[in-house]
Each structure stands twice: as C-alpha cells, then as structure tokens.
Chains A and B, each alone.
Chain A
Amino acid sequence: MASITLQDLNTKAEIRKKTAKPLLWIGIVSIVMFFSGWTSAVIVSKGGNGNWLNIELPFAFSLSTIIIVLSSLLFHYGLISIKKDNKKMLKLAVSLTLVLGLLFVVSQFYGWKELYSNGIVATGSSSTNASSFIYLITVFHVLHLLAGIISLIVVSVKSYKEKYNSTNFLGVEVSIIYWHFLGALWIYLFLFLKYIA
C-alpha cells in the first residue's frame, strides 16, 4: 500500500486556503483580549487611586492616526486592483502602504519624544501609572505592527515577483486583514487614551 496518503501538495494548498483567514481571525481575537486586559487595567487603576494624571496626548499621535488610515485605504485599493489583475497598481499600492507603515513608526517615535520632553516618563520615581500605561500600550501596539510590516515586506516582494493575480491573492488578503486590524486597534487605543485614560 502506498505510504503517502496525504494527497500531496494539493491537499495542503486546499487546507491553507480554507484555514489561513480563520487562523488569523482567531489570532486577532487573542490580541484584542490582550489589549483589553490593559485598557481595563487602566480603568481599574484610574478609579483606584488619587494620583492619576490626565495626560495630553502628543500631536504626533494624531498624525499617526491619519497615516495609518491612509495606509489602510491604499492597501485596500491594492486589493481591489489585484482582483482585476492590475498587477502594477498592486505593486504601487503595497509599496506605498509599506512606506506609510514605516512613517507610522517614525511618528510614534516623535510622539514618545514629545512626551519625554514634557517630563512624562515611563518608569522611575517621576513616572505615574498614567504615564507608564501610555508608553506600554503604544509600544506594544508598535510591536504588533512590526509583524504587519514584515507581512507587508513579504507581500511587496511577492507582488514584484508577480506571484499574485486575480485568482491567487490569499497572501494579500491575509496581510490586509491584519493591517486593517492594526489600524482599528490603533484608533481604539488612541481614542481610549485621549478620552478615557
């Protein structure tokens, strides 16, 4: 009897097709729970003690918001293009998204710098829980974003190699779901830090 029964690569590709997006979605659920742990912690800490400070968010964070929304729109345009087999447009859109993604990280650094120069620090005796949480939450968002950037790099390389077309764009879709999620997560965190924390 034949020893290989996993109907070779076809089955594998089929399984991937069926499961790549659900795997990502459930991963997203766990990331959401991770951050909701911290945002609930903010609420508990704020309610629990007297020395909570309301901190003005740096202007750079507003810029970050605009950048990430733009990047999401662009990326989406790329997806629409590849569905119509417009490979050129995909290349352009993905590379611009990548550039915007990097700009987002830069704007976050500017934000932290601004906070720091206003005397708002993450740790040590002059920090407060409010200031520690701002750094912690934004830094960990950026850490998650780095995974998105890596996926953008992979997708752009593959799009330059013309690996995608109107029948094969799963990689683009997976990457875009995650990227949109990062944008939505940022908007939530931004509004939360601005109005609730």
Chain B
Amino acid sequence: MSTHHHHDQDFLFKYVFSQDHKMISKQFLITGFIMGFIGLIMSTLFRLQLGWPGESFWIIDKLLGSWAENGVMAPDKYLALVTMHGTIMVFFLLTAGLSGTFSNLLIPLQIGARDMASGFLNMLSFWFFFLSSVIMLISLGVEGGAASAGWTIYPPLSALPQAIPGSGLGMTLWLVAMALFIVGSLLGSLNYIVTILNLRTKGMSMTRLPLTIWAFLLTAIIGVVSFPVLLSAALLLIFDRGFGTSFYLSDIYIGGQVLEHNGGSPILFEHLFWFLGHPEVYIVLLPALGITSEIISTMTRKPIFGYRAMIGSMVAIAFLSTIVWGHHMFVTGMNPFLGAVFTFTTLLIAIPSAVKVFNYLTTLWKGNIKFSPATLFSIGLVSTFISGGLTGLILGDSALDINVHDTYFVVGHFHIVMGLSAIFGMFAGVYHWFPKLFGRMMNNKIGQLHFWITIVCAYGIFFPMHFLGLAGVPRRYYTNSEFPLFDNLLDINVLISTFAIIIAFGQLLFLYNFVFSALRGPKAPQNPWDSNSLEWTAPVEHIHGNWYGDIPEVYRWPYDYSKVDENGEYIGGKDFIPQTTPLYDNETDEAH
C-alpha cells in the first residue's frame, strides 16, 4: 500500500467516519451552526416582509429567486420560510447542534472515560443527523416549496398533499428528514445515558458529577421517552398522506369534492405531537442550563449554590415536562376541568425553575466574577430565563392563554425563554470550551462585542412582540395590512425588523471569531479558566482515548472554588482545587 493511499484512508476515518467523540462533537457543532445560519437568514428575510410589507428588496430577489417575484416574497413562501425557520432552529441547531456538540465533547471528558459506550452508534447518530439536514435543505428546492404547515405540522394542512403548495413533496421530505433525525437523536441519547451510568472513572460518584453531565443525562432521558412518540405520530401522518388511512382526518372537502377520509381527528395529532413538543423545549433548554451553571461557578470562583437543589430541580423539571402538554391545546375545545389540571401541572414547573434562578443569582452574588464572553452569555441566559419564564405563567393559565393564544405574545415568549436561553447557553459553551474543541483561544474583545450586540438586539426584537400579541396580532401571518386596526402597530414592526437586521450582522462577528480563532487563534494553555473539572486534565491536543496513561481518579466534587481553612487561607494555596486532588489533611469532603 502506498503511503499516499494510506493517508487518504486516515483522512476518511479521522474526519469523516470518525468514531472519536471529540471529532463527532465538532461535526455536530459545524453542521448545527450551518443550519443555524440558514435559519437566521430565513428569519431576517421574513422580517423584511413584516417590517416593510409588500416592498421590493434586492436581497430577497437574489436569495429567493422564483419564490419572490420582483423582490417581494410570495405569501405561500412566507409560510414555508417560517416553518423551516422554526424546524431548523428547534431541532437542527438547538437539539442536535447543542446536545450533540456538548454531550459528545464533555461526557467522556468530564466523567473520565476513554470514549462513548459505542463509538459506532455515536458515528451513526451523527450521520443520521447529517443526512436529515441534507434532506431538509433539499426540500427547500422542490416543486411547491418546502413544508408550510408550521413547525408543528398540524393536519389537515400536513395530511392532505393537495391542501396548499407546501403540503406536497416538501411535506413528505420534511417527514422523511424528521424520521431520520429522530433515529439519529435516539442513537445519541442511548449512548449518552449508558456512558454516564456505566463508564465513570474511579471516585466519580453521581453526586460528584458536574451539573453539565446531569443536564445531558436528563436531556437524553427525556429524548428517549418522547422522541419515539413523535415518530409514531409522524408515521400515522405518513399513512394518512399516502396510504388512505384516516387517523387524523374526517369529513373533509377540498375544492367542493368530498374526500374518503372518515373517522379520525386532528386533535389526536396534537396530543401525540405535544407529548414530544413540550419536553422538546426542555431538551433544548436543559443542556444550556447545565452549561451555564458550570460556567457561572467557574467564572465567579464560587461553588455552585445548592448543587443538590440544582440536580433536584432539573429532575423535577424533566419529570413535569412530560405531563403538561395540554397547555398547548387549551383552545381545542378541551374539557375545562382537564384544562385546569394542565394549568396546575404547568404552573408547578415554576417552582423548580424559581429554585434554579435563585441558585444562579446566589452563586453570582458577591462572586469574584471574571467577565469572559462565556460569563456574559451565561448571565444573559439567567436574564432570559427569568423574563421569558414570567410570561410562561400567563400562557400556562388556561383562562389567560385563551386571549393570547396564537398571537405574537406566544412568539415573544418562546423565543425568549427557549430560543434565546438555549442560544445563549450554546454561545457560552462554545466560548468556554473552544480551547477544548480546537486547542486555541477565541478573541475576548470580539466576543464581548458580540454579546452586547446580541443581547440588546434580542430584547429589541422579542420584547415588543408581547405588545403586538396583546393587541391581537396573530402569528404566522404574511401581512396585517388588510386589518386597519393594526395599522398603528407598523412602527413596532419596523423597529423589530431593524433589530433583526442588526443582530444578523452581529453574528458575523461570531462567525469571524470562530473561524479565525480555530485556524489562527493563540494556542490554548492546559487549563485556561483555572477550572476544577476533569476535561482540563486531558492534553490540549486531541488524542485517541483522551488521556495518556491511566484515566485520572477523582476525589472531590467539581466546585471547590475559593475554599478556605479556619484561618481564611486558600486550601492548597490557590482559589481552585481540581477534582483529581486528593483531600488535604485539614480538609473534610463536605457531603455536598
């Protein structure tokens, strides 16, 4: 075999069909970011239409071509863009991109394992995701356009191929892509759970795990329980579309013609969909909560406040998330008693959420805070988790929700509490673990600028949406110019769209910082943030098996920051004690 040939093979197995968790992590990150940028551009384009309805834009003309005659987006294509934007952001960027990246990177490194339980399944998990991304993007180009029934793909729009242009091949491809996505996500979750439960290094008990790992564990458990139900819902939809069953359809006419479907109900779909749909928001959110807890503790040089309470509240949130799905269905003619039950379970989630907020704030309180971009984005998450959570109380209450259901109030709410929180968590994670991912440091100044532009614009976009919603502006509308009652709200839309354009440009700073630092950034030191957790004991360069020689042993929890003895001196002489340091004589392992 010639050396050259040998190299080719190496390349293929190292970068493409890799079974190494660190490489797979980068594959998830980059694929997720590419999808995320596409989702972002889509939102900017439809914000142009919302801010300046009916006006012609050069950029829309260039990017959308036949979807926008003379630079004006076609109404049905608006729906396609909104649907694809939601789908891409929720599933591709913030489920696969976020969990896939950080579960893969951090689980083996932080628990002290050589790799995932099954490198092969892990590789498959990525490739299912990748294939799914490709099919989802291809669906943008098919006749009739991409799926247009909203990211929630309610029937009958999604069930009858002849309903609207986007109900045709675009919808079919959406379903195929999502089926692959679900398989990939399940394979990933299997691996994460089993690795965490079975491959921890010596001394790494469950209560010595960093909160990141707890978050990834619970995320994976929710995934394993709820994604299969989405798959079963999607299969019924596929049968209704193509094979003449009527699970979701009854007494339907199209163009004056009676269809054969009989006996089904679209409400059934809503039940099945939201049984995944609500837990999905925690699949998106929990990893961000774990990441930021870890970062805030490290960067304030303080032990996380209420470690066990943090775990307990994440467990409670994970459990409660599976019994609240009805709050998306208050206006479906649901029995008011059942509505009250779902209101009750929904409002219960406020308790563990409030515990988490309290613990975040007490950890920050009087901390010796180092304001890295990761710290800033973590604090940004605390902010959005509060401001978005408060409006959740309104939407969770059936009597109040009925007034604002399907308005921009909802759009404002979920973007802040889920979209922004998760995106901030993801940015925080990338800034913080960039040295672990690429062995180089990102630029601090550009990162700070990126944060400030992002948070100001993000609130500028989503905060005013609540007022639109209270005024009654419905979501998923191409334009409201037919309704004189909304005329005086146009200025708000102009404002929102302006912020949307700025935020999109702001992300170019991140893109530049990311690409430039990955290639040219200064080399990372062994432990850039003086952190306690295990990943920083692994060599900066990526090696197969993670550690030279034996896997390190663990003697303490990961949050021994600024620990002092009776005289007020730092134990061990520094303001941090890595998990690999055995207990000192004068020290007790507080049973945290």
A-to-B contact residues, CB < 8 Å? 1-7, 11, 15, 18-19, 22-23, 26-27, 29-31, 33-38, 40-41, 44-45, 48-49, 51-52, 122-125, 127-129, 132, 136
Contacts and interface: CB of A to CB of B under 8 A. Distances in A.
B114 A19 contact: no
B191 A23 contact: yes
Interface in B177-219: 186, 189-191, 193-195, 197-199
Contact of B224 (A7, A19, A29): A29
B244 interface: yes
A6 B247 contact: no
B260 A125 contact: yes
A24 B228 CA distance: 15
Given A23-B191, A29-B224, A41 B272 contact: yes
A40 B274 CA distance: 13
B198 A22 contact: yes
Given A49-B263, A127-B245, 15 more contacts: A4-B545, A7-B114, A19-B199, A22-B198, A23-B117, A23-B118, A23-B194, A26-B190, A26-B194, A30-B224, A37-B228, A37-B229, A45-B264, A124-B260, A132-B239
A129 B263 contact: yes
Nearest to A38: B232
Nearest to A11: B114
B229 A19 contact: no
The size bracket of the interface on B is 35 or more
Contacts of A29: 224-225
Contact of A41 (B225, B268, B544): B268
Contact of A33 (B226, B267, B545, B546): B226
B255 interface: no
A37 to B, nearest CB: 3
Contacts of B226: 33
A51 B263 contact: yes
B268 to A, nearest CB: 5
B549 interface: yes
Contacts of A31: 228
A41 B194 contact: no
A30 B548 CA distance: 36
A127 B244 contact: yes
Given A122-B245, A129-B247, A136-B239, A33 B265 contact: no
B330 interface: no
B190 A23 contact: yes
Contacts of A122: 243, 245
Interface of B: 114-115, 117-118, 121, 186, 189-191, 193-195, 197-199, 224-229, 231-233, 235-236, 239, 243-247, 250, 260, 262-265, 267-268, 271-272, 275, 543-549
Nearest to A6: B545
Contacts of B260: 124-125
Contacts of A51: 262-263
Contacts of B233: 37, 41
A62 B227 CA distance: 32
A11 B546 CA distance: 13
Contacts of B267: 44, 48
Contact of B263 (A33, A34, A128): A128
A2 B547 CA distance: 11
A4 to B, nearest CB: 7
Contacts of A129: 245-247, 263-264
A36 B224 CA distance: 13
Given A5-B547, A37-B275, A19 B118 contact: yes
B275 A124 contact: no
B252 to A, nearest CB: 13
Given A19-B195, A34-B229, A41-B272, A49 B265 contact: yes
Nearest to B267: A48
Contact of B244 (A3, A123, A136): A123
Contact of B268 (A11, A27, A33, A48): A48
Contacts of A35: 232
B363 to A, nearest CB: 33
A18 B224 contact: no
B229 A33 contact: yes
B300 to A, nearest CB: 35
22 contacts: A5-B543, A5-B547, A5-B549, A6-B115, A6-B545, A15-B117, A23-B117, A30-B225, A33-B226, A33-B229, A34-B231, A37-B229, A37-B233, A37-B272, A41-B236, A44-B268, A45-B247, A49-B263, A51-B262, A124-B244, A136-B236, A136-B245
B548 A5 contact: yes
B525 to A, nearest CB: 19
B342 to A, nearest CB: 15
A124 B199 CA distance: 51
A30 B220 CA distance: 11
A183 B464 CA distance: 56
Contact of A27 (B190, B247, B544, B545): B190
Contacts of A125: 244, 260, 262
B37 to A, nearest CB: 31
Nearest 6 A/B pairs, CB to CB: A37-B232, A6-B545, A34-B228, A19-B117, A123-B244, A5-B545
A49 B224 CA distance: 31
Task: With a 10 A CB-CB cut-off, give which of B195, B228, B543 has the most chain A CB atoms.
Answer: B228
Nearest to B224: A30
A127 B243 CA distance: 11
B544 A123 contact: no
B41 to A, nearest CB: 34
Nearest to B115: A6
A2 to B, nearest CB: 8
A19 B194 contact: yes
Contacts of A49: 250, 263-265
Nearest to A8: B545
Contact of B199 (A5, A15, A132): A15
A127 B115 CA distance: 50
A23 B246 CA distance: 36
Contacts of B190: 23, 26-27, 30
Given A19-B199, A136-B239, A33 B228 contact: yes
A13 to B, nearest CB: 13
Contacts of B549: 5
Given A22-B197, A37-B229, A37-B275, A30 B186 contact: yes
A29 B186 CA distance: 11
A6 B114 contact: yes
Contacts of A44: 265, 267-268, 271
A19 B236 CA distance: 33
A4 B544 contact: yes
B236 A33 contact: no
